[in-house]
Structure 1
């Protein structure tokens, strides 16, 4: 076949495909789209098959397939399906990276972060899975050698560790950053070590005999969980019978009158037994792990303290 029987010049090929002449010339020079013939004057001529070949090259480039891989496809050393499978995984990784970058930028903008905070957040969010595990494990292990309260806290914390997924949502990423900041806070670690976090029902009422405390806290926890589940707010009239039942149980177990004095004492005890920062930590863990909030796992003290203070 000579140049006279080849229907396409490089200009015609450009018009038919919409690909710029300089791009076609580049593909020709690199061997991806060799001309079928050159005229005596050196002009390139292409066959009808060249049109389909150029279309395939352009589609693969648009899908971000590199030139060496395209050459293997054109040489039939690699199927389009195999390339698509590999490219799909690479694209998914790039999408995760871009989403993470977008989440960090949104978090920095929302928090009004300083340059130092921005650098810290970038570092925290780019830790590997193993590095995140080690950070959490070191924090929990740092509590274990301390007091019995600290060892109890470490035991409970170890049962529900925060695990950031590979493709976190904005909320999960923000929660992870806040958890990491709490773990780096010596004051937060001290609050756990000093027993502000009740690792058991008995510890929630330290001035009450352990067997009585366990019964009372368990009863109160279940009552508050049921009230929350029913949508009862602590400052509503519907909370009155719930509070009355809890006060009655305390009076019976402790042998005290169910009067204002007992109610005031209960409110003080519940308030002292609750640490809002520790509650915040657990809510952050639930967010990172994408766990459903269960009423029975929420601290009961704030609800009861507010309900006991209702006129």
Structure 2
């Protein structure tokens, strides 16, 4: 140290840096900013290098670095850019967490949730992307595992995972919480398992399951027209609508349009027409920001009732 360098008291440093005397004394006692010298009476004195060191400590603390990290920088055990990069990454995680908590609180405020609902929302919302995928994959494994169901459909299920954005909207948090509850519901799992078993049985009988997808547009169009016209499924006016649709199924699957086909079709409709299955895809669309597809619930409920009525008349 140059004997001509000015020395500052703790009070001088406090005025220059805006830190309290107590804080500067703490940094001195922990060795982060040791005094340059002491007066004969034992009072601490600091030179310009200590002042610069103190200013760096203050800046790093304001950026949120903890004292061990600051010590590594000061003692050159780690470079400043390495510590800054690690801290920036940690801050990014904290920011995502805070955004998620904000979304949960907004969702709670909007739906007047109970304390128990709020705890559940927070528990499910704070799951990581990997944990969310694991929850859905566990659901798929239990419902479709060990069965030769439609492989294209199972592959689509596994590829369509819930992906909450870094800053989710309250409705996305709500949708994820509802989806998380749904895939853990034993009754829903049992219902989907029955659907999967029905798919597997159809495949064993040589049924070309993918053709059902091609018929969905026909069903939507024909029954949509009946609904628009106010045709009740149990009325006589529903008969030609049912006849047109069973004829389309018979042609597609190269089967006779008889009572056996209609019983097969009714069984399939009753097994597959669980509104929770449609809700699953609606919730997934909200979470991932996809367009929510038009509901087919009313269409297939009409078809099921109309077909049941026609079979009862046979």
TM-score after normalising by structure 1? 0.65
Query: Superposition pairs for residues 9-24 of structure 1, below 5 Å?
Result: 9-24=9-24
Give the superposition deviation at 1:89: 0.6
Cα 1:146–1:220 change in 2 (3 A) is same
What stretches of structure 1 of length at least 5 have no aligned partner?
Answer: 203-209, 228-233, 237-246, 255-268, 307-311
Post-superposition offset of 1:129: 4.6
CA shift, 1:178, in A, is 0.6
Once the two structures are superposed, the pairs formed by residues 57-206 of structure 1 within 5 Å of their partners are 57-144=57-144, 151=149, 155=154, 158-165=157-164, 167=166, 169=168, 170-193=170-193, 195=195
Q: What are the Cα deviations for residues 272-295 of structure 1, in whole angstroms up to 9, with x where unaligned?
A: 88554332210111233x253276
Higher deviation after alignment, 75-84 or 156-165: 156-165
Q: After superposition, what is the alpha-carbon deviation per residue over 1:138-172, rounded to whole angstroms, capped at 9, x for unaligned? A: 32233337999xx4597376344433347361433
1:75 to 1:60, Cα distance in 2 relative to 1, 3 A: same
- Cα deviation digits, residues 170-201 of structure 1 (max 9, x gap): 433322211122223344345445559x97xx
CA deviations on 1:12-34 (whole Å, 9 max, x unpaired) are 12112211111111111211112
- The 1:59/1:213 distance shift into structure 2, 3 A limit, reads closer
Per-residue deviation, 1:84: 0.9
Q: 1:134 to 1:292 in 2, by over 3 A?
A: closer
Q: 1:37 to 1:6 in 2, by over 3 A?
A: farther
How many angstroms does 1:90 deviate by? 0.8
Tell me the secondary structure at the aligned position of residue 177 of structure 1. helix
Deviation at 1:301, TM superposition (A): 6.3
The 1-side partners of 2:172 and 2:178 are apart by 10
Question: How far has the Cα of 1:87 moved from its partner?
Answer: 0.6
Q: 1:152 to 1:114 in 2, by over 3 A?
A: farther
**Normalising by the residue count of structure 2, what TM-score does the alignment of the two structures yield?**
0.64
**Helix, strand or coil: the match of 2:280?**
helix
Distance in 1 (alpha carbons) for counterparts of 2:102 and 2:65? 24
Go from structure 1 to structure 2 and tell me whether the alpha carbon gap of 1:15 and 1:94 turns closer, same or farther (over 3 Å shift). Answer: same
Output the aligned Cα RMSD.
4.6
The separation in 1 between residues aligned to 2:9 and 2:3, in whole angstroms, is 9
Alignment match, 1:285: 284
Question: Structure 2: how far apart are the matches of 1:32 and 1:59?
Answer: 13
> In the aligned structure 1, how far is the partner of 2:18 from the partner of 2:85?
28
State the number of aligned residues: 265
Tell me how far apart the structure 1 counterparts of residues 285 and 87 of structure 2 sit (CA, whole Å). Answer: 34
Q: Is the 8 A contact 1:136 1:161 kept in 2?
A: no
Spell out, residue by residue over 1:201-259, the C-alpha distance to the aligned partner (whole angstroms, 9 max, x if none): x9xxxxxxx999776534455x69xx9xxxxxx969xxxxxxxxxx7x948956xxxxx
- Mark the CA change 1:114 to 1:55 in structure 2 (over 3 Å): closer, same or farther: same
